[in-house]
Each structure stands twice: as C-alpha cells, then as structure tokens.
C-alpha cells in the first residue's frame, strides 16, 4: 500500500496537533492525530501493521482512496473517474437552458453577449417546435426522472410567447411520461411582476434567478435601462418583494476588482428590508472578460477583468462574502465539489439558442462555430467531439493533487490566456491557497451534519 497522490493534508485543524486528510477524487474527509499523520506521510505497509492496523483498517483507507496498492492503481482509478465524469448520465434530471432572445432591456456594462447581439435574433414558433421535439427525444433516450428548463437571454421575459408555448407543450408531455417538469427564469427582474409569475406557475415555474450587482448606486451604474440609461434597482426590488412568497428566488451578484464591499452592502440592505430571509440562495462571482464579436472570438472584450481572478484579490474577497453570509444565516458551501467543464462532458446540460444551435457554454452564445450541435440533427457534431477528445485533465501536472477537483480548469479561461480552448488552464498556485481553507470549511459543515467519514476500527483515527 502507498499514499494516493490525491490525498491532501491540512495540519493543526480543528485543533493543534490534529490534521484533516481529504481525497480530491473520492471527497472522503477524515480527522487524524499527529501519530497517524506521521505514519501516513512516511508510509510503508509494515508501519501501518506494526502500529495496530488490521487488514480491515487498511482496506477502509483504501476504499476511501487515501491508500492505493501502487501508482498504477492510483492512475487507473483517476482515469475511470474522469471517464465517468465525461460520459456518465445523471438520470436524476436533465437541464436545458433555452435562449428566448438575444435582445435585452438592460445595457449592462460587462455583458458578454453585447458584442454578438442583433435585434432579429428571437426564438420563433418553428424553432420552438424543433426544440420541443429534441427535448422529448433526449428525455426518452436518457431516461431522466426530471426535466428542468432554464429560460435565458438576453432578457428571456422579452419573449414570453416562446416560454408559454414550450412550457405549455413540455409540462403535460412530461407528466404523461412520469417525468417531473420544472421551469426557471434567469432574468434581470425588471419584468418579473406578480401577475407574470401567477401566469407561469401553472406552466411549471418554480424559481427565478435574478441578477443584482449591489445597492442602488452600484446596480444602476452597471445595469441601466437600454436606450434611456435610467436606473433599474428600485423596480427589481419591488418585484422581488412581490414574488418572493410565490416562487424560489436566487440572487446572482457580480463584483469587480476583487472588492466585495458592494455585495456586503447589498446583503445588509436585503436583510434590512426583510427580503434576505425569503431568498433561497445567494450566489456571487467576479466579473470576467468575454469573447469578441462573431467571427473574431479572439478579440477579447474587457481583458482587464482577468485581474478579478488574481488570487491575492479573489481569496480574501471570497472569504469576506462567505463570512457575512454565514452571519446572516444564508447557506454556504465549501466549494470542494469535483467538476468538469461542460465542454469536456458528454450528455450533460445544454444551452439552445434562438436558431436551434446547441452550446455547452453560455459564454459562447453568438458564436456559431463553437456550437456543439443543432436541434435539427441527431447527436452532436465534430466541435463537441474535439472538446471531448481533448481530455484536458491529461495535460495537468502529474503530481498535482487537484486534478479531480478542477479537471484542468475552464476552457473559456484557457482561451482568454492562450487563444486555445484545448490548452491547460492551470491555477495550481490559487488552489494551493484555496483548497486547505475549503477543506476546513467542509469539515465544519460535515461535523455539524454528523457526516464525517472515519476508517472502521482504525486505532489512531479520531471522530
């Protein structure tokens, strides 16, 4: 037996002399004492046996991934894991994002669709019919238990006719097949009135994700009305107050230059007006660059936003936001999930645009050459195959313990940095700082939920 290279140690937590060990592939997390830590670091099987470990103890550590029989097994398990991530089918639900229009009533200063927007691009009835048939085939092929449609834009509520038609067709069809149907609006909130919500609840509407970028001064500066430049914050807030008891509300907030104080002010404001306790989820992210206009993706828009992802800025900002969220009783995750870029996965969720083109990344909307398929055709195309075959994770450093977590990172950011979607997008120095802190948060979460995994009968491990 030997230590898996995907085992990560965090020392002197939760108490001095104790350590956490976390496996990035299996997500196993165990608290151990200093004696066991020292044995594992200088591992030999004889060390374990001589210190009281039975064969069952070794197999327990092996089953959680911390121990492997040899380097070949470690690599084989990783490859099997990556293949499952790439080709595995989640039968719990299938998520399809549907772009009803590229048009928008806002003129956001950082919109990644602005360079590709044209007024004529609106989802029509014939294309809606093609999308409906494609969705039915996909649901039946995958055998999923739930279908979730995320209506997106532009501003999706500028084309309510398409939403009403598609949901009106898919909801009864899903119910006839024993499939749960859910609809979500991803909206700027300007048109999210209680009257509109009441109209769409019978068609499966369960939630809305609404973008807010701070309190009035910040939000109105970054998200003004198109054409007039007028502020939008007050109307959005009034709409949220009116619908928060009708559907689930998720707030999606962006911040700039690694400065989270605008979001903290927003959280305080939402709390003060009594809206925060009605919000089901608060998400946030730094503003990032976007691809250039159609045919010239390499002409990156707002490249200075890359500075928002500098680890010196991002980690303290992230910590600050999470601390305030905890103080206000909002759910906070550690961020330690295994992930794979949608572009490198097979039958995971998709985004379908107004022309029926299928994308795997919303940031690529408006770039037909980056579409991975078309609802008029079966299967996906050569673009999709190239992304799948790229196996970006194989470009990771051989000794990197984070490969199962990041899978060589975001393909979009690979392009921003190298003009090549298939290139390695390594942020190991960032992960070196982020992951230990995230492991501590994950331990605290699991401890509170009594979900800490322990080796069976391991004499040196602690609960």
- The string of pLDDT tens digits covering residues 155-179 is 999 999 999 999 999 999 999 999 9
- Residues 233 and 219: their CA atoms lie apart, in Å, by 6
Q: For the ranges 2-16, 108-122, 182-196, 200-214, which has the lowest average pLDDT?
A: 108-122
Average pLDDT over residues 405-430: 84
- Give one word for 122, left, alpha or beta, with left for phi > 0 and alpha for psi -120 to 50: beta
- Name the one residue in this structure whose structure tokens are 């989820």: 281
Q: Indicate the DSSP class of residue 176.
A: H
What value does the mean pLDDT of the chain take? 87
Three-state DSSP class for residue 254: strand
Q: Which pLDDT belongs to residue 107? A: 83
Q: What is the mean pLDDT of residues 266-289?
A: 91
Q: What is the DSSP letter of 224?
A: P
Between the ranges 312-321, 335-344, 369-378, where is the mean pLDDT highest?
369-378
pLDDT band (50, 70, 90) for residue 98: very high
Q: How far is CA 241 from the centre of its chain?
A: 27
Spatial distance between the Cα atoms of 421 and 399, rounded to a whole number of angstroms? 23
pLDDT of res. 463:
35
* Rounded CA separation 322/329 (Å): 10
Write down the pLDDT at residue 50. Answer: 58
Over residues 377-382, the mean pLDDT reads 91
Task: Please report, rounded to a whole number, the percentage of residues in the chain having pLDDT higher than 70.
Answer: 89
Q: What is the pLDDT of residue 459?
A: 41
Assessment of whether the complete model's pTM goes beyond 0.95: no
Q: Are 254 and 285 in contact (CB under 8 A)?
A: yes
Distance between CA atoms of 424 and 428, rounded to whole angstroms? 11
- Highest-scoring range by mean pLDDT, 39-43, 45-49, 223-227: 223-227
Question: Which residues, other chains included, contact 69 with Cβ-Cβ below 8 Å and sequence gap of 6+?
Answer: 1, 2, 62
Greater confidence (224 vs 290) lies with 224
Place of tokens 């190239």: 386
pLDDT at residue 309 is higher than 60: no
Query: HSE (CB half, 13 Å, CA atoms) of 451?
Result: 9
Q: Which of 99-103, 308-312, 361-365 has the lowest mean pLDDT?
A: 308-312
Look at residue 436 in the predicted model and tell me its pLDDT. Answer: 94
- What mean pLDDT is predicted for residues 129-149? 97
Split at pLDDT 50, 70, 90, the class of 454 is very low
Predicted pLDDT at 324: 94
Taking alpha carbons only, the member of 10, 25, 125 closest to residue 75 is 25
User: Which range (14-23, 67-76, 240-249, 410-419) has the least confidence?
Assistant: 410-419
Task: Give the DSSP letter of residue 380.
Answer: -
Is pLDDT above 80 for 340? no
Q: Is the pLDDT confidence value at 188 over 90?
A: yes
The neighbouring-strand residues paired with 208 are 185, 249
* Terminal-to-terminal C-alpha distance of the chain: 24
Mean pLDDT score, 328-357: 87
Please tell me the predicted confidence (pLDDT) of residue 348: 81
Tokens linked to 10: 């965090």
Per-residue pLDDT reduced to its tens digit, 212-230: 988 999 888 888 889 898 9
Q: Do 60 and 69 contact (CB within 8 A), yes or no?
A: no
> Cβ distance 184 to 153 under 8 Å?
no
204: DSSP letter: T
pLDDT at residue 54 greater than cutoff 90:
no
Token code pair at residue 297: 């993706």
Q: Which domains does the chain have, with CATH numbers?
A: 2-85+432-449 (no CATH), 90-383 (3.20.20.70)
pLDDT, position 457:
33
């Amino acid at each position: 037996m030997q230590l898996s290279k995907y085992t990560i140690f965090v020392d002197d937590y939760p108490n001095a002399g104790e350590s956490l060990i976390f496996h990035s592939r299996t997500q196993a997390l165990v608290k151990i004492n200093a004696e066991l830590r020292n044995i594992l670091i200088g591992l030999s099987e004889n060390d374990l046996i001589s210190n009281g470990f039975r064969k069952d103890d070794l197999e327990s550590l092996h089953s959680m991934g911390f121990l492997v029989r040899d380097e070949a097994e470690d690599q084989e398990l990783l490859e099997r894991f990556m293949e499952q991530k790439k080709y595995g089918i989640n039968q719990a639900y299938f998520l399809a994002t549907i772009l009803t229009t590229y048009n928008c009533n806002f003129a956001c200063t950082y919109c990644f669709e602005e360079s590709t927007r044209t007024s004529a691009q609106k989802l029509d009835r014939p294309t809606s019919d093609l999308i409906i048939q494609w969705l039915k085939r996909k649901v039946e092929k995958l055998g999923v238990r739930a279908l979730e449609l995320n209506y997106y834009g532009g501003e999706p509520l500028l084309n309510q006719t398409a939403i009403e038609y598609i949901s009106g067709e898919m909801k009864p069809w899903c119910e006839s097949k024993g499939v749960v149907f859910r609809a979500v609006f991803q909206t700027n909130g300007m048109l999210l009135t209680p009257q509109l919500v009441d109209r769409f609840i019978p068609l499966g509407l369960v939630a809305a994700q609404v973008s807010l970028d701070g309190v009035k001064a910040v939000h109105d500066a970054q998200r003004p009305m198109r054409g007039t430049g007028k502020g939008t914050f007050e109307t959005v807030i009034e709409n949220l107050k009116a619908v928060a008891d009708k559907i689930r509300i998720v707030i999606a907030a962006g911040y700039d230059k690694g400065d989270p104080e605008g979001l903290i002010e927003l959280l305080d404001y939402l709390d003060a007006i009594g809206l925060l306790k009605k919000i089901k989820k608060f998400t946030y992210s730094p503003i990032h660059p976007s691809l250039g206009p159609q045919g010239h993706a390499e002409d990156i828009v707002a490249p200075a936003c890359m500075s928002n992802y500098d680890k010196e800025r991002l980690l303290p900002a992230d910590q600050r936001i999470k601390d305030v969220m905890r103080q206000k009783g909002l759910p906070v995750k550690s961020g330690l999930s295994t992930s794979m870029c949608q572009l490198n996965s097979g039958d995971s969720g998709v985004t379908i645009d107004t022309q029926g083109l299928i994308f795997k990344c919303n940031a690529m909307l408006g770039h037909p050459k980056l579409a991975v398929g078309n609802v008029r055709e079966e299967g996906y195309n050569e673009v999709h195959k190239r992304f799948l075959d790229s196996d970006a994770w194989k470009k990771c450093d051989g000794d990197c313990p984070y490969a199962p977590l990041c899978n060589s990172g975001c393909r979009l950011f690979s392009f921003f940095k190298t003009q090549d979607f298939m290139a390695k997008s390594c942020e190991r120095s960032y992960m070196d700082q982020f992951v230990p802190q995230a492991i501590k948060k994950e331990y605290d979460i699991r401890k509170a939920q009594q979900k800490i995994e322990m080796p069976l009968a391991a004499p040196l491990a602690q609960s």
